[in-house]
Amino acid sequence: MAGKPLVIVTRKLPEAIEARMAELFDARFNRLDEPMSHDDLAAAMAEADVLVPTVTDRIGPELIEKAGPRLKLIAQFGTGIDNIDVEAAVKRKITVTNTPSVLTEDTADMTMALILAVPRRLNEGARRLRNNRGVWPGWSPTWMLGHRIGGKKLGILGMGRIGQAVAHRARAFGLEVHYHNRNPVNSVIEKELGATYWDSFDRMLREIDILSVNCPHTPATYHLLNERRIAIMKPDAYVVNTARGEVVDQDALITALEEGRLGGAGLDVFEREPAIDPRLLKLENVVLLPHMSSATVEGRLEMGERVLINIRVWMDGEKPPDRVIPAIL
Ligand code: 8YV
Protein backbone atom coordinates (compact mmCIF):
# COMPACT_ATOMS: atom_id res chain seq x y z
CA MET A 1 0.00 0.00 0.00
CA ALA A 2 1.14 3.56 -0.64
CA GLY A 3 1.86 5.52 2.56
CA LYS A 4 1.48 4.42 6.12
CA PRO A 5 -1.82 2.89 7.19
CA LEU A 6 -3.81 4.47 10.00
CA VAL A 7 -3.64 1.85 12.76
CA ILE A 8 -5.86 2.47 15.77
CA VAL A 9 -4.99 0.47 18.90
CA THR A 10 -7.84 0.19 21.38
CA ARG A 11 -5.82 -0.57 24.55
CA LYS A 12 -2.47 0.42 26.00
CA LEU A 13 0.12 -2.12 24.78
CA PRO A 14 3.70 -2.73 25.99
CA GLU A 15 5.86 0.33 25.37
CA ALA A 16 8.25 -1.43 22.99
CA ILE A 17 5.34 -2.55 20.81
CA GLU A 18 3.76 0.89 20.72
CA ALA A 19 7.15 2.42 19.86
CA ARG A 20 7.62 0.02 16.92
CA MET A 21 4.07 0.65 15.75
CA ALA A 22 4.69 4.39 15.85
CA GLU A 23 7.73 3.90 13.61
CA LEU A 24 6.03 1.66 11.10
CA PHE A 25 2.50 3.01 10.91
CA ASP A 26 0.45 6.13 11.37
CA ALA A 27 -0.47 4.69 14.77
CA ARG A 28 -2.98 6.05 17.25
CA PHE A 29 -2.96 4.75 20.81
CA ASN A 30 -5.31 4.70 23.76
CA ARG A 31 -3.48 6.55 26.50
CA LEU A 32 -6.00 5.54 29.15
CA ASP A 33 -5.64 1.93 30.18
CA GLU A 34 -9.38 1.41 29.78
CA PRO A 35 -11.60 -0.17 27.15
CA MET A 36 -12.90 2.29 24.53
CA SER A 37 -16.58 3.16 24.67
CA HIS A 38 -18.86 1.75 21.98
CA ASP A 39 -18.99 5.18 20.31
CA ASP A 40 -15.21 5.60 20.35
CA LEU A 41 -14.83 2.15 18.83
CA ALA A 42 -17.35 3.03 16.12
CA ALA A 43 -15.46 6.27 15.41
CA ALA A 44 -12.15 4.37 15.24
CA MET A 45 -13.62 1.81 12.87
CA ALA A 46 -15.06 4.54 10.66
CA GLU A 47 -11.62 6.04 10.16
CA ALA A 48 -8.89 3.41 10.48
CA ASP A 49 -7.25 1.14 7.92
CA VAL A 50 -6.36 -1.29 10.68
CA LEU A 51 -7.96 -1.78 14.10
CA VAL A 52 -6.00 -3.52 16.85
CA PRO A 53 -8.58 -4.59 19.45
CA THR A 54 -8.39 -6.90 22.45
CA VAL A 55 -10.74 -9.22 24.29
CA THR A 56 -12.34 -6.22 26.04
CA ASP A 57 -13.73 -4.79 22.78
CA ARG A 58 -17.04 -6.20 21.62
CA ILE A 59 -17.03 -5.90 17.85
CA GLY A 60 -20.46 -7.13 16.84
CA PRO A 61 -22.18 -7.06 13.45
CA GLU A 62 -23.59 -3.55 13.95
CA LEU A 63 -20.11 -2.06 14.46
CA ILE A 64 -18.78 -3.96 11.46
CA GLU A 65 -21.71 -2.73 9.38
CA LYS A 66 -20.81 0.88 10.23
CA ALA A 67 -17.08 0.40 9.57
CA GLY A 68 -15.57 2.87 7.14
CA PRO A 69 -14.49 1.84 3.65
CA ARG A 70 -10.82 2.01 4.64
CA LEU A 71 -11.04 -0.63 7.35
CA LYS A 72 -9.46 -3.73 5.85
CA LEU A 73 -7.79 -5.47 8.79
CA ILE A 74 -8.77 -6.24 12.37
CA ALA A 75 -5.53 -7.45 13.97
CA GLN A 76 -6.61 -8.72 17.36
CA PHE A 77 -4.07 -8.60 20.19
CA GLY A 78 -5.07 -11.99 21.66
CA THR A 79 -5.83 -15.54 20.65
CA GLY A 80 -9.55 -15.85 21.42
CA ILE A 81 -11.64 -13.97 18.87
CA ASP A 82 -15.09 -14.52 20.34
CA ASN A 83 -15.36 -10.75 20.88
CA ILE A 84 -15.37 -10.23 17.10
CA ASP A 85 -18.06 -11.23 14.62
CA VAL A 86 -15.55 -12.75 12.21
CA GLU A 87 -18.23 -13.88 9.77
CA ALA A 88 -19.63 -10.35 9.43
CA ALA A 89 -16.10 -8.96 9.04
CA VAL A 90 -15.13 -11.42 6.32
CA LYS A 91 -18.41 -10.69 4.48
CA ARG A 92 -17.33 -7.03 4.45
CA LYS A 93 -13.93 -8.14 3.13
CA ILE A 94 -12.21 -7.22 6.37
CA THR A 95 -9.43 -9.65 7.29
CA VAL A 96 -9.27 -10.73 10.93
CA THR A 97 -6.06 -11.98 12.53
CA ASN A 98 -5.16 -13.11 16.04
CA THR A 99 -1.99 -14.07 17.97
CA PRO A 100 -1.99 -17.84 18.36
CA SER A 101 0.79 -19.98 19.86
CA VAL A 102 2.65 -17.25 21.75
CA LEU A 103 0.50 -17.55 24.86
CA THR A 104 0.09 -21.33 24.85
CA GLU A 105 2.78 -22.15 27.42
CA ASP A 106 1.91 -19.29 29.79
CA THR A 107 -1.77 -20.23 29.74
CA ALA A 108 -0.94 -23.90 30.29
CA ASP A 109 1.31 -22.97 33.24
CA MET A 110 -1.49 -21.06 34.90
CA THR A 111 -3.95 -23.85 34.18
CA MET A 112 -1.58 -26.28 35.89
CA ALA A 113 -1.20 -23.84 38.78
CA LEU A 114 -4.98 -23.91 39.27
CA ILE A 115 -5.09 -27.70 38.91
CA LEU A 116 -2.64 -27.82 41.82
CA ALA A 117 -3.99 -24.91 43.82
CA VAL A 118 -7.62 -25.98 44.15
CA PRO A 119 -7.27 -29.59 45.38
CA ARG A 120 -4.28 -28.63 47.59
CA ARG A 121 -6.13 -25.60 49.07
CA LEU A 122 -3.17 -23.35 48.33
CA ASN A 123 -5.11 -20.13 48.24
CA GLU A 124 -7.07 -21.01 51.35
CA GLY A 125 -3.89 -21.70 53.34
CA ALA A 126 -2.25 -18.49 52.15
CA ARG A 127 -5.39 -16.53 53.01
CA ARG A 128 -5.56 -18.03 56.50
CA LEU A 129 -2.09 -16.72 57.31
CA ARG A 130 -2.56 -13.34 55.72
CA ASN A 131 -6.04 -12.66 57.11
CA ASN A 132 -4.93 -13.65 60.63
CA ARG A 133 -1.80 -11.47 60.43
CA GLY A 134 0.46 -14.51 60.48
CA VAL A 135 -1.21 -16.18 63.46
CA TRP A 136 -1.95 -19.90 63.01
CA PRO A 137 -2.27 -22.88 65.33
CA GLY A 138 0.93 -24.55 64.11
CA TRP A 139 1.28 -27.84 62.29
CA SER A 140 -1.48 -30.33 62.78
CA PRO A 141 -1.95 -33.85 61.44
CA THR A 142 -5.48 -33.09 60.36
CA TRP A 143 -5.55 -29.38 59.48
CA MET A 144 -5.75 -27.98 55.93
CA LEU A 145 -5.83 -31.35 54.25
CA GLY A 146 -6.37 -31.25 50.52
CA HIS A 147 -6.40 -34.01 47.95
CA ARG A 148 -3.50 -35.67 46.15
CA ILE A 149 -2.95 -34.73 42.51
CA GLY A 150 -0.99 -37.81 41.35
CA GLY A 151 -3.13 -40.69 40.14
CA LYS A 152 -6.22 -38.53 39.57
CA LYS A 153 -7.99 -38.36 36.21
CA LEU A 154 -7.79 -35.06 34.39
CA GLY A 155 -10.33 -34.42 31.64
CA ILE A 156 -9.30 -31.79 29.12
CA LEU A 157 -12.10 -30.16 27.19
CA GLY A 158 -10.52 -28.97 23.94
CA MET A 159 -7.26 -30.58 22.89
CA GLY A 160 -5.82 -27.75 20.82
CA ARG A 161 -2.45 -26.14 21.45
CA ILE A 162 -3.24 -25.11 25.03
CA GLY A 163 -4.99 -28.39 25.89
CA GLN A 164 -1.95 -30.33 24.70
CA ALA A 165 0.44 -28.12 26.65
CA VAL A 166 -1.69 -28.75 29.76
CA ALA A 167 -1.59 -32.51 29.06
CA HIS A 168 2.22 -32.47 28.95
CA ARG A 169 2.41 -30.77 32.32
CA ALA A 170 -0.30 -32.94 33.84
CA ARG A 171 1.53 -36.12 32.93
CA ALA A 172 4.64 -34.91 34.73
CA PHE A 173 2.48 -34.54 37.86
CA GLY A 174 1.22 -38.12 37.55
CA LEU A 175 -2.26 -37.26 36.34
CA GLU A 176 -4.05 -39.62 33.96
CA VAL A 177 -4.97 -37.58 30.91
CA HIS A 178 -8.38 -37.86 29.25
CA TYR A 179 -9.81 -35.50 26.67
CA HIS A 180 -12.85 -34.59 24.68
CA ASN A 181 -12.49 -32.79 21.39
CA ARG A 182 -14.46 -32.61 18.15
CA ASN A 183 -11.94 -35.10 16.74
CA PRO A 184 -9.19 -37.18 18.30
CA VAL A 185 -5.74 -35.68 17.95
CA ASN A 186 -3.14 -37.39 15.79
CA SER A 187 -2.29 -40.82 17.24
CA VAL A 188 1.40 -40.00 17.65
CA ILE A 189 0.56 -36.97 19.78
CA GLU A 190 -2.08 -38.97 21.66
CA LYS A 191 0.50 -41.62 22.48
CA GLU A 192 3.09 -39.07 23.52
CA LEU A 193 0.56 -37.47 25.87
CA GLY A 194 -0.70 -40.84 27.06
CA ALA A 195 -4.14 -39.36 26.51
CA THR A 196 -7.45 -41.19 26.22
CA TYR A 197 -9.99 -39.76 23.78
CA TRP A 198 -13.65 -39.60 24.71
CA ASP A 199 -16.06 -39.11 21.87
CA SER A 200 -18.76 -38.43 24.43
CA PHE A 201 -18.18 -35.47 26.76
CA ASP A 202 -20.84 -36.86 29.11
CA ARG A 203 -19.12 -40.19 29.48
CA MET A 204 -15.78 -38.52 30.16
CA LEU A 205 -17.35 -36.22 32.76
CA ARG A 206 -18.62 -39.19 34.77
CA GLU A 207 -15.10 -40.59 35.07
CA ILE A 208 -12.81 -37.65 35.75
CA ASP A 209 -11.65 -35.98 38.96
CA ILE A 210 -10.61 -32.64 37.46
CA LEU A 211 -11.99 -30.90 34.37
CA SER A 212 -9.85 -28.35 32.57
CA VAL A 213 -11.68 -26.16 30.06
CA ASN A 214 -9.34 -25.32 27.18
CA CYS A 215 -11.61 -24.86 24.18
CA PRO A 216 -12.53 -21.58 22.50
CA HIS A 217 -15.92 -19.97 23.04
CA THR A 218 -18.03 -20.47 19.92
CA PRO A 219 -21.79 -20.95 19.46
CA ALA A 220 -21.08 -24.70 19.64
CA THR A 221 -19.23 -24.52 22.98
CA TYR A 222 -21.48 -21.98 24.75
CA HIS A 223 -22.54 -23.49 28.10
CA LEU A 224 -21.09 -26.85 27.09
CA LEU A 225 -20.67 -27.49 30.80
CA ASN A 226 -24.28 -26.95 31.81
CA GLU A 227 -26.44 -27.86 34.80
CA ARG A 228 -27.20 -31.35 33.51
CA ARG A 229 -23.55 -32.13 32.86
CA ILE A 230 -22.37 -30.71 36.18
CA ALA A 231 -24.86 -33.04 37.84
CA ILE A 232 -23.23 -36.12 36.30
CA MET A 233 -19.74 -35.18 37.54
CA LYS A 234 -18.35 -36.79 40.68
CA PRO A 235 -19.43 -34.76 43.73
CA ASP A 236 -15.79 -34.15 44.68
CA ALA A 237 -14.59 -33.25 41.18
CA TYR A 238 -12.93 -29.91 40.41
CA VAL A 239 -13.49 -27.54 37.49
CA VAL A 240 -10.68 -25.36 36.15
CA ASN A 241 -11.40 -22.78 33.46
CA THR A 242 -8.72 -20.65 31.80
CA ALA A 243 -10.50 -20.47 28.43
CA ARG A 244 -13.71 -18.44 28.39
CA GLY A 245 -16.38 -18.03 31.04
CA GLU A 246 -19.14 -18.62 28.51
CA VAL A 247 -18.18 -22.28 28.02
CA VAL A 248 -19.48 -22.95 31.53
CA ASP A 249 -22.96 -22.11 32.78
CA GLN A 250 -21.65 -20.02 35.65
CA ASP A 251 -24.94 -19.93 37.58
CA ALA A 252 -25.18 -23.72 37.46
CA LEU A 253 -21.56 -24.02 38.56
CA ILE A 254 -22.09 -21.66 41.50
CA THR A 255 -25.22 -23.51 42.62
CA ALA A 256 -23.38 -26.85 42.47
CA LEU A 257 -20.47 -25.44 44.48
CA GLU A 258 -22.81 -23.86 47.05
CA GLU A 259 -24.66 -27.16 47.44
CA GLY A 260 -21.43 -29.15 47.79
CA ARG A 261 -22.05 -31.08 44.57
CA LEU A 262 -18.51 -30.29 43.34
CA GLY A 263 -15.17 -30.29 45.12
CA GLY A 264 -14.12 -26.81 44.02
CA ALA A 265 -13.18 -24.63 41.09
CA GLY A 266 -10.28 -22.60 39.74
CA LEU A 267 -11.49 -19.80 37.49
CA ASP A 268 -9.46 -17.31 35.53
CA VAL A 269 -12.37 -16.35 33.28
CA PHE A 270 -16.00 -15.53 33.90
CA GLU A 271 -19.28 -14.99 32.20
CA ARG A 272 -20.02 -11.27 31.81
CA GLU A 273 -16.42 -10.10 32.55
CA PRO A 274 -15.32 -7.94 34.24
CA ALA A 275 -18.23 -8.57 36.62
CA ILE A 276 -17.54 -11.20 39.27
CA ASP A 277 -20.59 -12.86 40.73
CA PRO A 278 -20.44 -12.02 44.48
CA ARG A 279 -21.52 -15.57 45.33
CA LEU A 280 -18.17 -16.80 44.01
CA LEU A 281 -16.31 -14.60 46.49
CA LYS A 282 -18.01 -16.38 49.38
CA LEU A 283 -16.85 -19.86 48.38
CA GLU A 284 -13.71 -21.09 50.17
CA ASN A 285 -12.99 -23.88 47.69
CA VAL A 286 -12.84 -21.56 44.67
CA VAL A 287 -9.68 -19.86 43.42
CA LEU A 288 -10.46 -16.75 41.40
CA LEU A 289 -8.01 -15.00 39.12
CA PRO A 290 -8.62 -11.83 37.10
CA HIS A 291 -8.17 -13.24 33.54
CA MET A 292 -4.38 -13.37 33.87
CA SER A 293 -3.37 -16.76 32.46
CA SER A 294 -1.51 -15.22 29.53
CA ALA A 295 -0.28 -12.21 31.51
CA THR A 296 3.51 -12.43 31.26
CA VAL A 297 5.80 -9.67 30.08
CA GLU A 298 7.35 -12.06 27.54
CA GLY A 299 3.98 -13.23 26.26
CA ARG A 300 2.60 -9.73 25.82
CA LEU A 301 5.68 -8.73 23.81
CA GLU A 302 5.32 -11.78 21.59
CA MET A 303 1.64 -11.06 21.12
CA GLY A 304 2.56 -7.53 20.03
CA GLU A 305 5.16 -8.91 17.63
CA ARG A 306 2.54 -11.19 16.05
CA VAL A 307 0.26 -8.18 15.59
CA LEU A 308 3.12 -6.26 13.95
CA ILE A 309 3.88 -9.17 11.60
CA ASN A 310 0.23 -9.54 10.63
CA ILE A 311 -0.09 -5.84 9.80
CA ARG A 312 3.18 -5.70 7.88
CA VAL A 313 2.38 -8.76 5.77
CA TRP A 314 -1.04 -7.28 5.01
CA MET A 315 0.64 -3.97 4.07
CA ASP A 316 2.77 -5.90 1.59
CA GLY A 317 -0.41 -7.12 -0.07
CA GLU A 318 0.05 -10.69 1.17
CA LYS A 319 -2.20 -12.84 3.34
CA PRO A 320 -1.25 -12.33 7.01
CA PRO A 321 -0.08 -15.54 8.70
CA ASP A 322 -2.61 -15.54 11.52
CA ARG A 323 -5.81 -15.07 9.49
CA VAL A 324 -8.91 -16.32 11.25
CA ILE A 325 -11.15 -18.28 8.91
CA PRO A 326 -14.82 -18.39 9.95
CA ALA A 327 -16.17 -21.89 10.52
CA ILE A 328 -18.73 -21.59 7.70
CA LEU A 329 -16.06 -21.08 5.04
C1 8YV B 1 -5.48 -12.26 26.12
C2 8YV B 1 -6.95 -14.30 26.06
O3 8YV B 1 -4.59 -11.63 26.92
O4 8YV B 1 -5.73 -14.33 24.05
C5 8YV B 1 -6.74 -14.63 24.64
O6 8YV B 1 -7.65 -15.27 24.09
O7 8YV B 1 -7.87 -14.75 26.65
C8 8YV B 1 -6.10 -13.41 26.86
O9 8YV B 1 -5.32 -14.14 27.69
C10 8YV B 1 -6.57 -11.35 25.66
O11 8YV B 1 -7.40 -12.02 24.80
C12 8YV B 1 -6.08 -10.12 25.00
O13 8YV B 1 -6.96 -9.70 23.97
Domain 6-100+297-315 and domain 104-288 have a common topology: yes
Residue 33: the pLDDT is 87
Q: Is the confidence at residue 329, as pLDDT, over 50? A: no
The single residue of 47, 87, 207, 273 carrying the catalytic annotation is 273
242 Cα: distance to centroid of ligand 1 (angstroms): 10
First to last CA, the chain: 27
* Nearest in space to 75 (alpha carbons), one of 311, 315, 305: 311
Average pLDDT over residues 60-80: 97
The predicted-structure confidence for 109-154, as pLDDT tens digits, reads as follows: 999 999 999 999 999 999 999 999 999 999 999 999 999 999 999 9
Phi then psi dihedrals of residue 190, to 5 deg: -60, -40
Q: What does the alpha-carbon distance between residue 321 and residue 309 come to, in Å, rounded to a whole number?
A: 8
The answer to whether the beta carbons of residues 269 and 241 sit under 8 Å apart is: yes
Average pLDDT over residues 31-47: 95
The single residue of 147, 291, 305, 323 carrying the catalytic annotation is 291
The predicted-structure confidence for 144-202, as pLDDT tens digits, reads as follows: 999 999 999 999 999 999 999 999 999 999 999 999 999 999 999 999 999 999 999 99
Average pLDDT over residues 85-105: 97
Q: What does the alpha-carbon distance between residue 247 and residue 90 come to, in Å, rounded to a whole number?
A: 24
Q: Which atom of ligand 1 is nearest to the CA of 77?
A: 13
Check if 305 is active-site: no
From 84, 267, 268, 294, give the residue whose CB has the most ligand 1 atoms within 8 Å, as the site to mutate. Answer: 294
113 Cα: distance to centroid of ligand 1 (angstroms): 18
Check if 259 is active-site: no
Q: Which residues contact 176 (CB under 8 A, 6 or more apart)?
A: 151, 152, 153, 154, 194, 196
Domain ranges of the chain: 6-100+297-315, 104-288
6-100+297-315 — its CATH code?
A: 3.40.50.720
Percent of the chain with pLDDT over 90: 97
Check if 171 is active-site: no
Specify whether domain 104-288 bears CATH 3.40.1790.10: no
85 Cα: distance to centroid of ligand 1 (angstroms): 16
pLDDT level of residue 2 (50, 70, 90 thresholds): confident
From 33, 291, 298, give the residue whose CB has the most ligand 1 atoms within 8 Å, as the site to mutate. Answer: 291
The predicted-structure confidence for 245-299, as pLDDT tens digits, reads as follows: 999 999 999 999 999 999 999 999 999 999 999 999 999 999 999 999 999 999 9
Q: Which atom of ligand 1 is nearest to the CA of 293?
A: 9
292 Cα: distance to centroid of ligand 1 (angstroms): 9
Residue 326: the pLDDT is 83
From 11, 55, 213, 302, give the residue whose CB has the most ligand 1 atoms within 8 Å, as the site to mutate. Answer: 55
Residue 248: the pLDDT is 99
Pocket of ligand 1 (CB under 6 A): 54-55, 77-80, 103, 293-294
pLDDT level of residue 95 (50, 70, 90 thresholds): very high
Return the percent helix, strand and coil in the chain, to nearest 5. Answer: 35, 15, 50
